[in-house]
């Protein structure tokens, strides 16, 4: 997909930087050019058409009372208003970072009150659905890039490209930008991302006398799925032979409700889609396996139940049939030192740093199949399409995504940034293997299968994955799941 | 008598009648309104919605589809399984809870040592949050390190996949629900037992009736109204089991623990299908209505009471 709003101004940016032009003037200039090109180049939905031209807005940029980051919309209202923001609950120290940011925003714009609603992470999409149905949704809601197609098709989110500088949009990792866009519109500012990596407890491997996974920075240089299973099998057998019956080779997933089927997007789909190939012939099952759903996003049969997908799920099933991983949710196994390997994102690893576990640990890429695959599901604040304050809501999103706020957030929460300049600005991403690997995974990540009904797909496939883990036949289960998903997606036709 | 006086007396009479008739309805009006809004209106809305189609994004109705939603769920194997499981939950819950509650109530009514503690413990389970209880039982059922498997291992029995086995999982959910909910019918029975005049037991003892005969011929017949209430309450409770399913098994494995409540929830909140979810809810209501009518008929007294 081509980027809807970003002009190819990278070289222009370089020239500008060299000529000593100040940032605001440069941004205003590129924004004006971009706005012109954008308005000529593609149709905009009604809400976007009502938005002011970005060039005019950018001219007003210097009048913003605060660093609104990539915001390029009009100056904010002087009328007293309340912006409602629904987001996930974070631990108190992370909430404090956001609350501090609101204070700064309200100090600059005392007429704008920010009212938060924090909900458990797993309930965000359901809550959004209920709010949208009620016709009184919060102005800003924390969405996810997986659901961008639905936000577009359901007219849930406001297209944001006209409210953001092209420099900001260009700065977002390409695969993240693509995931946050649909049908030529940019709907949500990716907030942070989670690329699944393999963390291992060095002490357990040492105790069993099994070589640790390769500690590399290249996502293609890790174990293959087969090597991974063989290593875990050997590890388990040696541990049991030593009388250790409590340590698991692979700790239970901690996404969602935990255990198998916890989060297809970020965990189990990696086993399946890594058996596909984006460079294969478009009619081939390898290509379809990689896609996960038909090009129109409305058919899973032939995509989810291919021989390659069955192979991926059969590999996954071995983790449980060979008793390499517990078949149910078990919290904190890895942190407690009774799990040799754990699949998680960078933020959990950062928490490991903070907790200083009583063991040595390292990181390796997620096992690869035919390709090295990682899914780039990201949280992204979206602006409700019917908000009475589109500019202010977009400005709030942009403000929270400005450099200072994002770096403060990443450093506190430990997650993976989604903008190239921020990755470059954090030294660890240049000199520490874990961070370099995470950056490599982020750069090569792929989006969730593009379907307007991804929410249905996701909810239908998770229990099937669990049933396969518990011994169900991968082929028949995937075929049934594909048929079921086809039925669920029919309503979007 | 002058017309004016007659009219005045008539008016006074009407006012008096109104003053006599109005307070009753006025006093129950708030309850009727509340019931209407919070109980019956949602029911009517569910029935109406079961014949409509909806926009999957904002859930606004888009038209009338007749029985299409019912067709859709009846042809779904997931619904068929959820329906059978709902009946299974009701049967298991009633078969386990009612005798157990009656036994506990009779025991507690004896005022044996420790009765107060036992009563408190049973009521505490009833009062505990369903989600917290489910989380505790999740640990008890843990395949490795859970208390139940530790007990089995201690007596040399094999480990059981309580929550992940096709056959055990529904029973495991039901067992947790029995533990959680036995307090309610027990309290109903206890109240019923304490309302039975002691003279009847004295008379039975004078007639030489033993404990079992006294229970069968005195206690049980006089507990019939309590039994009907307890059956009714437990049928509804068993039909509505939801939280343990959501927390312990998410309806799995292979839909083995899903029931109509959980199935309806998934349709509405995970699959954006409020029409089909409403049809499923209507089916669930019909199950409750049919079973409670049957129970009332079966548990009726000799005079049909």
The answer to whether residue A256 neighbours chain B at the CB level (below 8 Å) is no
- Window from A62-71, A432-441, B68-77 with minimum mean pLDDT: A62-71
Query: Could you tell me if B89 and B240 are in contact, meaning their C-beta atoms sit under 8 angstroms apart?
Result: no
The answer to whether residue B74 neighbours chain A at the CB level (below 8 Å) is no
A337 contact partners, CB below 8 Å, separation of at least 6 = A201, A203, A204, A357, A358, A359
With a cut of 90, say whether residue B303 has pLDDT above it.
Answer: no
- The structural architecture, per CATH, of the domain A10-188+378-432 is 3-Layer(aba) Sandwich (3.40)
Cα–Cα distance measured from residue A339 to residue B144, given in angstroms and rounded to the nearest whole number = 14
Q: pLDDT (tens digit, 9 = 90+) per residue, A318-329? A: 999 999 999 888
Tell me which chain B residues have a C-beta less than 8 angstroms from the C-beta of A474. none
Cα–Cα distance measured from residue A161 to residue A159, given in angstroms and rounded to the nearest whole number = 6
Q: pLDDT (tens digit, 9 = 90+) per residue, A162-178? A: 999 999 999 999 999 99
Tell me which chain B residues have a C-beta less than 8 angstroms from the C-beta of A462. 250
Query: For position A242, what pLDDT does the model report?
Result: 95
Contact yes or no for A133 and B270 at CB 8 A? no
Query: Could you tell me if A288 and A303 are in contact, meaning their C-beta atoms sit under 8 angstroms apart?
Result: yes
Query: Could you tell me if A304 and A482 are in contact, meaning their C-beta atoms sit under 8 angstroms apart?
Result: yes
Instruction: Kindly state the percentage of chain A with pLDDT values over 90.
Output: 68
Q: pLDDT (tens digit, 9 = 90+) per residue, A286-334? A: 999 999 999 999 999 999 999 999 999 999 999 999 999 998 888 889 9
Tell me which chain A residues have a C-beta less than 8 angstroms from the C-beta of B253. 466-467, 470, 472
Backbone angles phi, psi at A103, to 5 degrees: -60, -45
Q: Fill in the DSSP letter of residue A214.
A: P
Nearest to A46 by CA among A202, A147, A184, A159: A159
Q: Where are the domains of chain B?
A: 3-49, 70-298
Tell me which chain B residues have a C-beta less than 8 angstroms from the C-beta of A488. 271, 273
Question: Could you give the ipTM of this predicted complex?
Answer: 0.78
Query: For position A40, what pLDDT does the model report?
Result: 37
Query: Could you tell me if B285 and B240 are in contact, meaning their C-beta atoms sit under 8 angstroms apart?
Result: no
The answer to whether residue B68 neighbours chain A at the CB level (below 8 Å) is no
| Domain B70-298 sits in CATH 1.10.3720.10 | yes
Buried (b) or exposed (e) across A402-419, using 16+ Cβ within 10 A? beebbebbbebbbbbbbb
Q: Least CA distance to A147: which residue of chain B?
A: B57
With a cut of 60, say whether residue A37 has pLDDT above it.
Answer: no
Query: Could you tell me if A447 and A373 are in contact, meaning their C-beta atoms sit under 8 angstroms apart?
Result: no
Backbone angles phi, psi at A330, to 5 degrees: -135, 115
Which residues numbered 147-176 in B keep a CB inside 8 Å of some CB on A?
161, 163-164
A197-376+449-492: CATH number? 3.40.190.10
Contact yes or no for B143 and A155 at CB 8 A? no
Q: Report cis status (omega within 30 of 0) of the bond before B253.
A: yes
With a cut of 80, say whether residue A34 has pLDDT above it.
Answer: no
Please list the residues that pair with A85 across neighbouring strands: A116, A140
Q: Which two tokens stand for residue B181?
A: 């909910």
Determine how many CB atoms are found less than 10 A away from the CB of residue B136.
12
Determine how many CB atoms are found less than 10 A away from the CB of residue A322.
14
């Amino acid at each position: 997909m081509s980027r809807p709003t970003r002009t190819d101004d990278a070289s222009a940016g370089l020239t500008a930087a060299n000529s000593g032009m100040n940032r605001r003037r440069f941004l205003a200039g590129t924004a004006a050019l971009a706005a012109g090109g954008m308005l000529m180049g593609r149709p905009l939905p009604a809400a976007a058409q009502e938005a002011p031209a970005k060039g005019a807005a950018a001219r007003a940029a210097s009048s913003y009372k605060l660093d609104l980051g990539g915001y390029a919309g009009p100056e904010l209202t002087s009328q007293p208003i309340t912006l409602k923001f629904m987001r996930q609950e974070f631990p108190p120290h992370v909430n404090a970072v956001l609350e501090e940011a609101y204070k700064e925003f309200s100090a600059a714009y005392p007429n704008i009150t920010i009212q938060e609603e924090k909900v458990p992470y797993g309930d965000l999409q359901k809550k959004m659905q209920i709010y949208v149905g009620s016709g009184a949704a919060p102005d800003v809601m924390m969405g996810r890039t997986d659901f961008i197609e639905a936000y577009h098709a359901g007219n849930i989110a406001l297209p944001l490209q006209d409210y953001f500088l092209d420099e900001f949009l260009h700065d977002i990792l390409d695969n993240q930008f693509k995931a946050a866009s649909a049908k030529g519109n940019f709907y949500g500012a990716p907030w942070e991302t989670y690329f699944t990596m393999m963390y291992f407890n060095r002490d357990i491997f040492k105790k069993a006398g099994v070589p640790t996974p390769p500690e590399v920075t290249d996502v293609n240089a890790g174990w293959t799925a087969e090597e991974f299973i063989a290593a875990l099998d050997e590890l388990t057998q040696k541990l049991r032979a030593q009388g250790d019956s409590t340590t698991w080779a692979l700790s239970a997933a901690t996404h969602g409700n935990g255990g198998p089927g916890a989060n297809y997007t970020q965990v189990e789909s990696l086993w399946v889609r890594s058996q596909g190939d984006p460079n294969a012939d478009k009619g081939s099952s390898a290509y379809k396996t990689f896609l996960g759903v038909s090009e129109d996003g409305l058919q899973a049969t032939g995509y989810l139940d291919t021989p390659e997908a069955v192979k991926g799920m059969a590999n996954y099933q071995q983790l449980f049939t060979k008793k390499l991983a517990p078949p149910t949710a078990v919290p904190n196994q890895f942190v407690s030192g009774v799990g040799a390997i754990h699949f998680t994102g960078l933020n959990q690893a950062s928490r490991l740093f903070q907790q200083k576990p009583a063991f040595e640990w390292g990181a390796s890429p997620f096992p690869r199949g035919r390709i090295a695959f990682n899914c780039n599901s990201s949280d992204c604040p979206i602006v409700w399409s019917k908000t009475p304050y589109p500019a202010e809501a977009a400005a709030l999103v942009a403000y929270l995504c400005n450099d200072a706020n994002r770096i403060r957030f990443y450093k506190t929460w430990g997650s993976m940034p989604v903008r190239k300049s921020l990755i470059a600005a954090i030294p660890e991403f240049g000199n520490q293997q874990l961070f370099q690997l995470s950056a490599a995974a982020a750069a090569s990540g792929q989006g969730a299968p593009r379907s307007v009904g991804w929410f249905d797909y996701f909810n239908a496939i998770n229990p099937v994955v669990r049933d396969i883990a518990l011994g169900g036949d991968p082929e028949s289960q995937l075929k049934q799941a594909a048929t079921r998903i086809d039925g669920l997606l029919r309503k979007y036709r | 008598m002058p017309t004016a006086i007659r009219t005045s007396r008539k008016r006074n009479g009407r006012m008096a009648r109104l003053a006599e008739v109005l307070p009753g309805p006025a006093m129950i009006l708030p309850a009727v309104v509340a019931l209407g809004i919070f109980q019956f209106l949602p029911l009517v809305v569910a029935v109406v919605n079961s014949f409509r189609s909806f926009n999957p994004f904002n859930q606004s109705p888009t038209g009338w589809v007749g029985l299409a939603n019912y067709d859709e769920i009846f042809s779904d194997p997931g619904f068929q399984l959820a329906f059978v499981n709902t009946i299974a939950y009701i049967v298991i819950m009633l078969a386990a809870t009612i005798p157990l509650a009656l036994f506990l109530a009779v025991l507690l009514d004896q005022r044996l040592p420790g009765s107060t503690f036992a009563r408190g413990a049973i009521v505490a389970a009833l009062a505990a949050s369903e989600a917290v209880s489910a989380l505790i039982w999740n640990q008890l059922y843990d395949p490795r390190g859970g208390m139940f498997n530790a007990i089995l291992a201690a007596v040399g029995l094999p480990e059981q996949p309580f929550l992940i086995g096709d056959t055990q999982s529904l029973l495991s959910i039901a067992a947790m629900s029995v533990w959680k909910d036995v307090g309610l019918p027990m309290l109903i029975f206890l109240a019923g037992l304490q309302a039975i005049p002691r003279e009847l037991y004295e008379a039975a003892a004078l007639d030489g009736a033993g404990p079992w005969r006294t229970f069968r011929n005195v206690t049980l017949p006089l507990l019939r109204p309590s039994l009907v209430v307890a059956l009714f309450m437990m049928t509804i409770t068993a039909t509505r089991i939801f939280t343990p399913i959501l927390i312990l098994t998410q309806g799995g494995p292979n839909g083995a623990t899903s029931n109509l409540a959980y199935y309806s929830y998934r349709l509405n909140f995970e699959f954006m299908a409020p029409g089909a979810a409403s049809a499923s809810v209507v089916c669930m209501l019909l199950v409750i209505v049919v079973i409670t009518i049957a129970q009332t008929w079966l548990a009726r007294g000799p005079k049909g009471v």
